[in-house]
Amino acid sequence: MNLARRSLLAAAALPLARPALAQAWPARPIRVLVPFAAGGAADSAARTILPRMGERLSATFVVENRTGAGGSIGGAEVARSAADGYTLLWDASSHIVNHALLRGLTFDYTTAFLPVSQVCTFPQVVAVKADFAARDIGAFIAAAKARPNTINMGTQGNATAGHLGLARFAREAGIEVQHIPYRGGADAARDLAAGNLDGVFITALSARPVVDSGRARFLAVATARRIANLPDVPTLAESGLPGFDVSEWVGLFAPAGTPAEIAARLHEALAAALAEEEVRARLDRLGAVPVGSDPAGFGRFVTEGRAAMTTLVREANIRIE
């Protein structure tokens, strides 16, 4: 066989190489690092969805909780893992803010990961104690302007989605409030129920039991659109803050360099799992809204969100204490 013919045959074979590689995956269990505590919302969503993805991929997903440093300990392990589809990161919205808050990171969030899909969101809400005078966001803003830095608002912790949402709300509304960070939304909700807080900026899941008990009431949701299980609660955007949209979320990431075919197969399995009625019912009980964006769409979301959060952290002087 002459050299020209061998070259043509080699060239013809090239397009088959990567699909064949992708078809061989997965050949062993896939580790998914969740950088948050077992039993929390992010972990519970992972343990709901990943087994269904495994059924579609004929794969076993093994969840490992690697907590600490705002999620960056788990992130660091995935960042230094092989880009072969066998180690993944199930991260939250801290993914787009940690670079602006944490010193001494051993990896770069902007280059270390391939976004696969935004899995779901956990809508944030503004709620106030039952005897707080304001009945809507407009009245709340008026009260805060009349009494600067005297209204205390709880969140699920420093630099969390609730804290970032509250900072953005205060900035766009032109008000000053006292931020009271807790070790989770449930703790903030308990103090709201006891009347120790004027209000909270936490997930709907954490706030709803207190509201349902009559000890607090919703003023607004922080999502771009109203949410299905709170259809009568207006958005902050409807309430005079156009474009406002801040949610906690979880997403699936792979190490940078992971083949696009593997990312596509992961997304397809995830989207199929999210379409199951049982999965959606379980997520609803967690206060989660399914998303299932594709890798390109999630990549744009991460890039835009990181830019916005970097600006917010700087302008609001947000620090991890």
From first to last of its 321 residues, the chain has per-residue pLDDT tens of: 443 333 333 433 444 444 445 459 999 999 999 998 888 889 999 999 999 999 999 999 999 999 888 889 999 999 999 999 999 999 999 999 999 999 899 999 999 999 999 999 999 999 999 999 999 999 999 999 999 999 999 998 888 899 999 999 999 999 999 999 998 899 999 999 999 999 999 999 999 999 999 999 999 999 999 998 899 999 999 999 999 999 999 999 999 999 999 999 999 999 999 999 999 999 999 989 999 999 999 999 999 999 999 999 998 888 876
The CATH number of whichever domain residue 55 belongs to comes to: 3.40.190.150
pTM as predicted? 0.85
Q: Are residues 44 and 190 in the same domain?
A: no
Cβ neighbours around 281 below 10 Å, total: 10
The domain in which residue 213 lies consists of 122-221
Phi, psi of 186 (to 5 degrees): -65, -40
Q: Are residues 168 and 117 in the same domain?
A: no
Cβ neighbours around 43 below 10 Å, total: 19
Number of independent structural domains in the chain? 2
Q: Are residues 141 and 108 in the same domain?
A: no
CB 95 within 8 A of CB 253: yes
Q: Is residue 117 part of a domain?
A: yes
Q: Are residues 59 and 137 in the same domain?
A: no
Q: Are residues 205 and 150 in the same domain?
A: yes
Q: Is residue 176 part of a domain?
A: yes
Q: Is residue 7 part of a domain?
A: no
Give the orientation angle of helix 137-146 with respect to helix 161-173, to 10 degrees.
70
Q: Is residue 15 part of a domain?
A: no
Cβ neighbours around 179 below 10 Å, total: 18
Q: Is residue 243 part of a domain?
A: no
The CATH number of whichever domain residue 128 belongs to comes to: 3.40.190.10
Q: Are residues 155 and 114 in the same domain?
A: no
